[in-house]
Structure formats: C-alpha cells, structure tokens
A and B are shown apart, each in its own frame.
Chain A
Amino acid sequence: MPLLKDGRLVEDPWVPLADEDPVPKDGPVLVSLARWQAEREILRVRPAPVGVRLASDDSAEALADDLADVALVAVDFPAFADGRGYSTARLLRERYGFTGELRAVGNILRDQYLFLARCGFDAFEVSDARAPEAWRAAMAEFHNFYQPAADGYASIIALRHRRVAAAE
C-alpha cells in the first residue's frame, strides 16, 4: 500500500508482522499492541526501529510509557465513521508527547485528511495515486480554525485575544 507522508507518496519501509510471524533480524517492523506488550523486551533491543499498530479500541494510554522506544504508531480506522482514532492521536501527541510518525491506516476518506492532520497524523495509508493532489487541496481549504488541536495552530479565539492584547 502506498504511503502519503507530509503530502508526498513515498515507499513504505515498514514490514507489518502478524502476531505469529517470526521477527526478522533487521529492518523496521510493525507489530500489534498485544505483541509489543508481550515481547517488548526483545523488540526494544533490536537494532532496527519498531512500530506499534493500535486497533480502534486500543487506548493511547496503553502505549504511554513506551513511546520513547517506538518510532511509529499506526492507528486503525476500521470504518471512516469510526472516530475513536482522532482522540487516540491527540492524546499520543498532546498528552504523551509522541513525536514519531503517526500513521492513519484503514478506511479513510480524502475529506478527512484535514481532521486527521489536525489531530496529529502525518502519514496515511492510501490507495489512490491522486492522493497528494487531494491532500494539497484539503490542506488549503481553511485558513484558520476555531479549536486548538495537535497541529499547533493558534485557535481563532487565541488570534482574537492576541489582537486585543496588542491593541492595549
């Protein structure tokens, strides 16, 4: 599956492992939360990076103490209408300070890119070659937002507040 990262299609270097697959000697691997929790001591000392895949009902908190050892978190969207991953992403970024790659996988629509990006996702599993174009359009659709979120934009309230402060 191609990967849309920072707005460009890139090769995905990560190898997804099913829970029963053997762990290869090197190269980045992506494992389930359960496997990570069971084999974390071994995975941690591998010479290559490890990513963890969260199901839509896995909590961000379950990974909170391990984020220093994890280079990628993939959050699954079993259906585009299942919005739990948006909260998971914000918690990973804003509460637990995760700075690695945060990837949305599963069923996502191009019209969700903006919401996903605002919640902290920076990579997306996509199936459409026109994804970069759609991405650029989505990112340009709005100039300002009412809410503070994980993308660090100042909210409209904050912008108004600054203006008042500057005038005083």
Chain B
Amino acid sequence: MYRYDEFDRTFVDQRVAQFRDQVRRRLEGELSEDEFRPLRLMNGLYLQLHAYMLRVAVPYGTLSAAQMRKLAHIARRYDRGYGHFTTRQNIQYNWPKLSETPDLLDELAEVEMHAIQTSGNCIRNVTADQFAGVAADEIEDPRIYAEIIRQWSSLHPEFSFLPRKFKVAVTGATRDRAAVKVHDIGLFIRRNAAGEVGFEVVVGGGQGRTPMIAKTVRSFVEKRHLLSYLEAIMRVYNQFGRRDNKFKARIKILVHEIGIEEFTRRVEAEWAEIRDGVLDLPADEVARIHAYFAPPAYEPEGEAAATLARQRLSDPAFNAWVRSNAVAHKQPGYAIANISLKPEGGVPGDATAEQMDAVADLAEQYSFSEIRVTHEQNLVLPDVRQDALYELWQALDAQGLATPNLNLVTDIIACPGLDYCSLANARSIPIAQRLSRRFADLKRQHDIGELRIKISGCINACGHHHVGHIGILGVDRKGEEYYQITLGGSADEDAAIGKIIGPAFSSAEVVDALEAIVETYLRVRREGERFIDTYGRVGAEPFKEVLYAAA
C-alpha cells in the first residue's frame, strides 16, 4: 500500500501543528465557536449531541495492520474503547476531548493517517472499491488514482470553500462495489478501443433529500488528463453551484438545473483552457504510486483449494461462513475474507479496541498485513490463502467477528441516527439491532439470500436508504419516531433509487413490516431469484397488499 515520502510526512505534520494552534486559540478564547467551527470541520471534528466526534480518514478504505493497531490504541486512550466504521470507509470516535485532539492527530500522523477533509465543504476522503487490487474483474487498481486525487485535493486552495461537501469514488472493476453512481464525481476505469486505460467520468450522483444517479460527462479521459479534467469540473461547480440554499448546493442540483449537456459544455470549455498544462500527470508519478500497490508475494496454489474443500465438507458452520463471507480472489489459491461487523444485536460498524487489535494480528498472520474497510461498514482481509481460512475463521469466531451474513438480510447499513446525531429525526441503530435479532436464524438468512437493508435517521441519507433493496428512513411524526420504507434501490452498476411503498410505520410496527416484505418475497420469488430481481419483476403491488391490506 501507499507509504508517505518526506513531502507527505511534512505536510501532515504541519497540518497537525496548524490544528494544534487553532485548538489553542479556541481554548484560550481567542476564537469563538462560530469562528472555530469551519476550522475544526476541515479537520473532521464535529460537535454532536453529547460530545465532539472525530472522523479519521481511511483513504480509499485501505489500512495496514500497524494502522489498525493505532486505531485500537486511540479507541482505548481517547475514547471509550471502541470506534465506528462508517459508510464512507472512515472511522469515527464519539467521545474525544477537544483539548486532546491535537495529540490524537499526532499519533495518527505517526502511522501516516490524518483527519483532513473528512468534513466541511471541500473534497472529502476519496473512496474506492473495497476489493481493489484483488478482484478478478478489475482493469487496474483504483487506489493508484484515489491516492493521486487524495493528494491533489488536500488543502486545495481554490476548492476548500465549495458550495457544499464533495465526494469522489473510483472503481476499476466491472461490478461496482463502491456505489460510484451516487457520488458527486464517479470514476470508472475503462479501456478504450485502442487498449489504453483511462476514466469514464460521471457527475451529479448523490443521496440526501434529492437522490440522483450520476450522468456521464466524458466517456474517456486519458490518465494524464485526470487532474486537469477534475479541476475543470470543480471550477465550474465552485463558480456556478448554488449557494443560496444549502439543500440545493450539491453539484447534482447544478447538473439537474442547467442540464447535463450545458454542464458538459462548460466543463469542456474550461478543460480546453487548462489541459496540457501544469496539471498534466507525469507518467513517472503514476508509476511511482503504482509501485506501492504491486501485488504481494503470493505463494503457489498447491493444495490450498483442495484443503479448503475438505474443511468445508467437514464443518457446516465454517462452510456457511465461507459461502457468504469469502469471495473469489484473482490469484489461484487465495480468497478475499470479509469480516462482518454486524453481529446479532450489534451496532453496525462498531468495533472494540480488542477486536481491532485482533484484526491487526490476523492481517499480519494471514493477509500480508493489509485490511480494508467497506462502505457497507465491514472489514476485509484481502489476501488470505484458501487453506488458511479455517484457522482464520476460528480466530475470528473467538472475537465475535465470524458472523456469516455478508450481503444477507442482517448485513445492515445504519447511520448513527438519534443516538448520536443532532440532525436525526429518529434512531437508526436500535432498528438495525431489532432486525438483526428478528432475522438471526442463519438458515433462514441464507435461504432469503442477498438482501440489502439500509437505514438513515433523516433525509440526509448517511445510511444510504435510497439505494437499499429495502430502505428505511426515520421521519418525525408529531414528535414520534416513524419509519418510511422504500423498495427497489440499488447501489451497484445498475444503480437505482428506491420507491416509497406507502405510509410510514411506527417504531413498534416497522420490524413486522420488514418481515412481511421478506415473507412476501419468499412467496412470490422464482427459483434462484434475488429480492431485488423479484421486485423488478413483480413491482410494488404484492408488497403493498400485504402491508396495507388490513388498513
């Protein structure tokens, strides 16, 4: 994975020193909270319902074992012994003290991490396919370009006070695991007719109160033009994005209001002025960063596959875990092992310091010291030999980390909701917990198959409810928590926004309603048909009937 050179190191150290001074000025009363707010936000520090929350960037979701160990240490030393992995592949700490945050950031800098641009109206931490570099369906590792974009966007002098926050995602695979089409800018690595590798650039996707699927502005941008093209888009957005209304300030609204043709025309005109200039990406810089993402020294396949097959036959519980949580690897003899952070009754994405330490140890032992964080709030050991999966599974099980539910009904995404967030209408976490108990039976979960439930505590949609196969949105009804259900959303290459099925349900009703939807699916599905495909075939009617017939 990428390692800092002296430029990167100096930059992050100087950033911490700058923040230390800002915190000092705040604590000494030289800065008011109003003046401090934009400064702390540019460093990922939020003021929540009960305390400060610090969001630490995990660039494109890749962590080393040493970094994970540091995150565990921070959870212990500065928080209450746990951390929360988010839908943007980051980690949040819910209880740090303001006066201690500079020290916390110093400790992060020791392992080449930071909290730069994890909030604020700037270009946020760039996300990428969690299986980058190990997926069989990949043209090139998207992290190379995510890292280039991370650097270019860090304290960008022109784009640090945008109309609104700005999210970029990159994938190099044909299957979109990074929800690329619901980002402000999405990059798909493509090969053109001449065999060259470049990017399809899509713009204007997003969730929130006006969910939209991104549209293509250019179907092929050569690598060397990546930064100039991005700068052209950002400049058009910075100048013309709406600033009169926070809810209309995302780039998706600009694209929607002036139309993709006019938007593209402006971007292309701007690009014509700046291309072939100082932003040209030198091939040696791409090669330099590429080298950091070279594959590790894989061992020959040997008996790995046969051993795994034997172990699966002899242990049904292990077999269930492999079936749901192990994914095909591009390298023969290896597997991608997914670690679910969605145990029965747990808080989606939470991990204790002990669990983080355990994952760090296991990464060292079984996965070339590398770990990934997924936007579904799970962890991944990307490079595990197939004949080591059994030992790994046992070790994970001992830590409560072997729940075999990846992409199943209890692999729920949930935002922090009213338990933490000051913007929330309703709680998200307790709904996720109740659902995970209701559907705890593993046999039933595997029978139901792939089903993605996503829960947001308000229309800001941090829990991605719009793109859940089943989405749950917390709404406020005369001071009571209610939940609106949407069906048919999808975050992958066939991205779609879910449709509201009908009136919202009370907190007491919502879990029964979910179960009724699932039962209906089981009744009407065809052999081998996923929930989302059944919904696509039969539409909303059968579900509506069951949910609202009595009323």
Contact = CB atoms under 8 A, between A and B. Distances in A.
Contacts of A82: 161, 243
A136 B8 CA distance: 23
Given A146-B151, A148-B279, A161-B285, A119 B7 contact: no
Contacts, number: 100
A99 to B, nearest CB: 19
Contacts of A149: 157-158
Contacts of A147: 152, 156-157
A83 B159 contact: yes
Contact of B239 (A59, A160, A164): A59
A155 B243 CA distance: 30
Contacts of A109: 35, 38-39
Contact of B161 (A86, A114, A141, A143): A86
Contacts of A68: none
B273 A115 contact: no
A86 B239 CA distance: 9
B288 A144 contact: no
Interface in A101-150: 109, 111-112, 114-116, 118-119, 137, 141-149
B195 to A, nearest CB: 26
B155 to A, nearest CB: 7
A15 to B, nearest CB: 30
Interface string B263-303: 00000000001000011011011001000000000000000
A40 interface: no
Contact of B14 (A118, A143, A159): A143
Interface of A is mostly: helix
B288 A111 contact: no
Interface string A59-88: 100000000000000000000111110111
A86 B237 CA distance: 12
Contacts of B155: 115, 142, 145-146
A143 B10 contact: yes
The listed residue with most B CB atoms (<10 A of its CB), out of A83, A95, A155, A159, is A83
A146 to B, nearest CB: 5
B270 to A, nearest CB: 10
Nearest to B39: A111
A164 to B, nearest CB: 5
Contacts of B158: 83, 86-87, 90, 115, 119, 149
Interface string B155-172: 111111111000000000
A48 interface: no
B161 A81 contact: yes
B157 A118 contact: yes
Interface residues of A, number: 37
B238 interface: yes
B235 interface: yes
A10 interface: no
Nearest to B283: A161
A157 B238 contact: no
A125 to B, nearest CB: 17
Interface in B406-440: none
A84 B278 contact: no
B548 interface: no
B10 A144 contact: yes
A32 B115 CA distance: 41
A18 interface: no
B121 A81 contact: yes
Contact of A83 (B11, B39, B160): B160
A118 B155 CA distance: 11
A158 interface: yes
Given A87-B239, A144-B11, A161-B282, A119 B288 contact: no
Contacts of B235: 87
Nearest to A56: B243
A34 interface: no
B366 to A, nearest CB: 34
A156 B151 contact: yes
Given A144-B10, A144-B11, A83 B161 contact: yes
Given A59-B239, A87-B238, 20 more contacts: A81-B38, A81-B161, A83-B121, A83-B158, A83-B162, A84-B239, A84-B243, A86-B160, A86-B238, A87-B235, A88-B239, A111-B39, A115-B158, A137-B21, A142-B11, A143-B14, A146-B155, A148-B279, A156-B8, A160-B284
19 contacts: A81-B121, A82-B243, A83-B160, A86-B238, A87-B238, A90-B158, A115-B158, A115-B161, A119-B157, A143-B14, A144-B11, A146-B11, A146-B152, A147-B157, A148-B279, A155-B278, A157-B281, A161-B282, A164-B288
Interface of A: 59, 80-84, 86-88, 90, 95, 109, 111-112, 114-116, 118-119, 137, 141-149, 155-161, 164
